[in-house]
Amino acid sequence: MVHVKFLGHSCFTLEHGPHRVLIDPFLTGNPVCPVKADSLHPTAILVSHGHGDHLGDAIPISKRTGALIISCYEVVSFCLGQGATGHGMHIGGGHDFDFGRVKLTPAWHGSAIEFDGQSAYGGTPCGFVIRIGGKTIYHSGDTGLFGDMELIGRLNKIDLACLPIGDNYTMGPDDAVEAVRMLKPARVVPMHYNTFDLIRQDPEAFGKRLDHLAECSVLKPGESLEL
């Protein structure tokens, strides 16, 4: 059993046995996040790209807990330079960790890291296919729709897909429905919406459109499900 908790925006925790994987920890400054960064004790942190609403609190949490930051090489290099612990990868590459396997998938997006009024190169943004506790979870990161989602769906029997529906910065609901057609996951949790006015969406209406395609679980920040 894998315990999946949504913490708002694109942030999730995956728990299986002693393993606690935190994804895109935008906690501090996230108006919908129900927890404080200090209350989390992850053993690994997956970061899809360098934008502040995804890298978020990853560095201070890693420094406090020793959790390994897993991301593309450039984001990890930046984190290592700030005193965090990390493991750099790149798109198409997979690696076995103590909690399971992670493979980086493409994402059509940007990835600059902004800090102290400066901007660092964040490499290529990514998504993740995560194998944990016998389950397969696809977290797409921030991305527009792309045709290779069909390939991701063909190569993986996806138990859960976490997909953005906010529009403007990522796929909106129309394209997210197309993504579900290609990925063929058993279950979908929408993300990256209603954190700010610019990405306001109706997740229940989106869920109704997935009828016959996949089960849609709309989670409020703080809610969870078992896989």
List residues binding Mn ion (CB under 5 A): 53, 142
Tokens of 184: 């063929």
Q: What residue ranges bind Ni ion (CB under 5 A)?
A: 51, 142
Tell me which residue of 227, 161, 223 sits closest to 35, measured CA to CA: 223
Q: Which is nearer to Mn ion, 112 or 213 (CB)?
A: 112
* Contact predicate 182/150, CB 8 Å: yes
Q: For the purposes of burial, counting CB atoms within 10 Å of the CB of 56, is it exposed (0-12), middle (13-18) or buried (19 or more)?
A: buried
Q: How far apart are CA 82 and CA 90, in angstroms?
A: 20
Instruction: Give least dist CB 169 to Ni ion, A.
Output: 6
- 16 interacts with, out of Ni ion, Mn ion, none, CB within 5 to 8 A per kind: none
- The answer to whether 69 and 49 are in contact (CB under 8 A) is no
Q: Whole-number minimum distance, CB 50 to Ni ion, in Å? A: 8
In the complex, the smallest distance separating the C-beta of residue 47 from Ni ion, rounded to whole angstroms, is: 11
Return the one option of Mn ion, Ni ion, none that residue 9 interacts with (CB less than 5 to 8 A, by type): none
Nearer to Ni ion, 143 or 156 (CB): 143
Nearest to Ni ion of 57, 142 (CB atom): 142
Does the CA dihedral 137-98-125-48 come out positive or negative?
positive
CB–CB of 6/195 below 8 Å? no
20 contact choice in Ni ion, Mn ion, none (CB below 5 to 8 Å, kind-dependent): none
Give the residue with the Cβ less far from Mn ion, 100 or 221: 221
CB of 164 to Mn ion, least distance (A): 8
